[in-house]
Amino acid sequence: MTRIAITGANGYLASLVQTYNAGTFDFIRVSRSDVDYADLNGLRSYFEVLDFDILFHTAANATTADCENDPAGTHRVNCEAAIELGRICHERGKRMIFISTEQIYNGKHEPGPFSESVEAESVTNYGKQKAEVDAWMRATMSDYVILRLSWMFGMALPHVKPSPGIVGNVVRALRTNTPTLFTVNEKRCMTYAQHLADQFATTCELPSGAYNFASSNDLCTYDAARVVAGKLVSAGIATPDAVERCILPNTERYADRFRDFRLDNRKAVAAGIQLGTFEEDVDRCLADFGWM
């Protein structure tokens, strides 16, 4: 059985992948209690003797505020540590699967979707840090997969706590009767995280390269939130009045420049990864959890 070392083992995507692939792979869980990603010497000592076939590196500090307030510290964790792991994998002849992000394109002035060949341009430290690792791997490594993920969404499962996503944010606003702002001046892909869990085995076999792992979307974030809310109304879970009260447009954020950092998924689809549209993903998510 293929042995996969999985960093950030307690995180959402890592937990989801492990839950649905436990019988297919032998996962070696690596969490913050095992290794300090700010200690590159300790990192090397740990991973250069670890017995694995593939390294699935999901560990990162993705909190935008942390990356802006502590650029040196988060660069060490998000960038320097990831590159050191890449060096170790390269030296040992092991495959590395690295989680990159749509945020490498959040500084683009032209509209998306962007293909894998488009040069990164980010206005946030998190995006710049991921882009630096992304570029290093493509220039240096021979056996790797870079997954440039969109904003992922899903719902809670036993032992799997989702990160904030569009569906969860809308559900939370309606359940708690909390007026919540959703950005108007922004377009981004939003993807049901179950796609990654279901197709992890295929992902492990992809030819070396970078892949945009994202379902397509033509809606701004506010309109996408209204789509989710409308489906919850149709399912009898929310009322139209609650939607009008709680799902609100934020027209001030990015008012200076509309941001469109959507990802073009055609390369991934051509390689055998099945991805759909945002609305299809929402329907599937709600159906999987018995809400449709």
Q: What is the pLDDT of residue 98?
A: 98
CB of 208 closer than 8 Å to CB of 274: no
Distance in angstroms (rounded) separating the CA atoms of residues 32 and 60: 10
Residue 49, pLDDT > 90, answer: yes
Q: What is the pLDDT of residue 107?
A: 94
Sign of the CA dihedral with 227 first, then 231, 237, and 242 last: positive
* Per-residue CA distances from 102 to 38, 40, 135, 203, 290 (Å): 24, 26, 14, 18, 30
The pLDDT, as a whole number, for residue 160 is: 86
Q: Which two tokens stand for residue 110?
A: 């032209």
pLDDT at 163: 86
C-alpha to C-alpha distance for 178 and 102, rounded to whole angstroms = 28
Helix axis angle, 221-234 relative to 166-175, nearest 10°? 60
Give pLDDT, residue 66.
94
pLDDT computed for residue 158 by the predictor = 87
Q: How far apart are CA 287 and CA 280, in angstroms?
A: 10
Residue pLDDT, tens place only, 130-168: 999 999 999 999 999 999 999 999 998 888 888 889 999
For residue 17, give the nearest of 61, 56, 67 by alpha carbon: 56
Whole-number pLDDT of residue 290: 84
Residue 74 exposed, middle or buried by CB count within 10 Å (0-12, 13-18, 19+) = buried
Residue 33 burial class via C-beta count within 10 angstroms: exposed 0-12, middle 13-18, buried 19 and up: exposed
Rounded Cα distance, 221 and 172, in Å? 16
- Is 208 a residue whose pLDDT tops 80? yes
Let me know: does 102 contact 210? Beta carbons within 8 Å. Answer: no
pLDDT given at position 101: 97
Round to whole Å and give the CA distance between 119 and 98.
18
User: Could you tell me how far CA 109 lies from the centroid of its own chain?
Assistant: 22
pLDDT at 169 over 90: yes
Rounded to the nearest integer, the mean pLDDT of the chain is 96
**Residue-range domains of the chain with CATH:** 3-153+189-215+263-276 (3.40.50.720)
